[in-house]
């Protein structure tokens, strides 16, 4: 049995509750007969609204981040306990915007990963290089470091709850997409790193998504690659007419 395709929409800092409800309901209707696995990750303020809409459907509810502590005096942070209470099933961690705009380092991301796994969330761990790192020939080094440090202390028994999302930072929101061949090369390398850390069987099973300007017209070519198991979609996830064709690619 091959790995399932897993298509996730990261809505980032978009949508009021009314807008989020409208999009979530449209996706529930459009994707109810979809053949793949699906997730949408609205802003924290829309989670409760969207949770009620996607409950008992084939769309999982994701959060875009969480605090590294369970609770306490952490003004402006959101706890895994609060996310669990809202029906969140999956948490996106280490997104390049968190790493580069908000200066989250591998140690902080690793703390969040372990906390989320402890509370039985699925984790989508994002990795990827900056343009200058790619141009310096450091793609594998950067990605390997982010995987090794991000998963430090994560037991093999928890790896089934981990998805890796490879997002070359230079392709996010820029309209530039890694060619399917470029993306495939990194995905194959990521699988090798997982094999070294957790063994061949675990590496064969882990889902590795691609993210970075995924659109209806390039989704099928990307998914045709042997090691690309889905997509983490940003801008194109904000409208049904761009997300649904990606989600239903064949």
Residues designated as active site? 95, 167
Strand partners, 122: 90
| Phi, psi values for residue 14, rounded to 5° | -130, 155
What value does the CA radius of gyration of the chain take, rounded to a whole number of Å? 17
CA–chain centroid gap for 96, Å, is 11
Give residue 213's region: left, alpha or beta (phi > 0; psi -120 to 50): left
> Which string of b and e fits 160-198 if b means at least 16 CB within 10 Å?
eebbbbbbbbbbbeeeebbebeebbbbbebbbebbeebb
């Amino acid at each position: 049995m091959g790995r399932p395709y897993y298509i996730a929409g990261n809505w980032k800092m978009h949508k009021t509750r009314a807008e989020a409800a409208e999009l979530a309901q449209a996706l529930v209707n459009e994707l109810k007969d979809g053949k793949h696995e699906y997730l949408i990750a609205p802003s924290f303020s829309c989670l409760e609204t969207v949770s009620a809409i996607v409950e008992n459907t084939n769309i999982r509810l994701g959060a875009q981040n969480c605090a590294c502590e369970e609770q306490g005096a952490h003004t402006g942070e959101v706890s895994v306990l609060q996310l669990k209470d809202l029906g969140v099933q999956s948490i996106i961690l280490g997104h390049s915007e968190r790493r580069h705009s908000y200066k989250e380092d591998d140690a902080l991301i690793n703390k969040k990963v372990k906390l989320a796994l402890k509370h039985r969330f699925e984790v989508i761990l994002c990795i990827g290089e900056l343009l200058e790192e790619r141009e310096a020939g450091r793609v594998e080094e950067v990605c390997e470091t982010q995987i090794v440090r991000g998963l430090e202390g994560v037991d093999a028994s928890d790896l089934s709850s981990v998805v890796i999302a490879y997002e070359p930072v230079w392709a996010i929101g820029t309209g530039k997409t890694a060619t399917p061949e470029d993306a495939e090369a990194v995905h194959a390398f990521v699988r090798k790193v997982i094999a070294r850390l957790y063994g061949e069987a675990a590496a064969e099973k882990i889902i590795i998504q691609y993210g970075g300007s995924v659109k209806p017209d390039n989704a099928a070519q990307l998914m045709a690659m042997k090691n690309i198991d889905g997509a983490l979609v940003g801008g194109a996830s904000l409208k049904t007419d761009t997300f649904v064709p990606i989600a239903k690619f064949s």
